A and B are shown apart, each in its own frame.
Chain A
Amino acid sequence: MPPRKVVTGFLLAAGSLAGSVLVRRRAARKRERVDLYADDGSMHSFAEGTPEADRLLPIAHDLLRA
């Protein structure tokens, strides 16, 4: 296979991978979630649908509705 085709194929693969990562990140950001940051610097993230988020998100909705 000519080297030019290999490079083109590689660039296409890398581009589509980067694109899918960006799309996934944007989609993840559109989901509701709760992030808890502890004193020790650790962080726990709970997406909607988890028991933790389902307990905290209604309070946030209530505050943002005002």
Chain B
Amino acid sequence: MDAAQAIDDLKEISPQVRDVVVIGADGAPAGSSLTEEPAVERLADGARRLVEAAEAMRPGVAQLEAATLGGSVFVVRDGDRLIAATTSPEPTVGLVFYDLKTCLRSIDEAPPATKPARRRTTAAQKKAEDAAS
């Protein structure tokens, strides 16, 4: 599933979620519910800063919630990828984490580097090559 579809599904099943951004293994935003590029960058940058600061305090952080009176910010890590979301105040924490993990895991990983195509040699070509050598 691509990131846009996964984020649409997340927004549909989780009305508490406001804005979402998915950050790929390369550190760049791979998808978002936000439409404006600066807003996407801002959310992605904030998510990265949260994870870096959390990691500096407690190494091995897999997910975090920063709860404020105006809403919460969630960040979930899956390998090198991240998903971050803002929610309304007092969200159902377990449910939001579950939905974010499901969303992130449903997004296809970047396809592996393509192998060079194998050279096919027909019997006739092989005979010609053998004759030439």
Binding site for B on A (CB under 8 A): 29-30, 32-40, 44, 52, 55-57, 59-66
Contacts and interface: CB of A to CB of B under 8 A. Distances in A.
Contacts of A62: 46
Interface of B: 19, 39, 42-43, 46-47, 49-50, 53-54, 57-58, 60-73, 86, 90, 93, 97
A63 B69 contact: no
A58 B19 CA distance: 18
Contacts of B71: 64
Nearest 4 Cβ contacts at the A-B interface = A60-B66, A63-B46, A60-B73, A37-B63
A24 to B, nearest CB: 16
B50 A59 contact: yes
Contacts of B67: 32-35, 60
A34 B66 contact: yes
Contacts of B42: 63, 66
B58 A61 contact: no
Contact of B58 (A44, A63, A65, A66): A44
A66 to B, nearest CB: 6
Contacts of B46: 59-60, 62-63
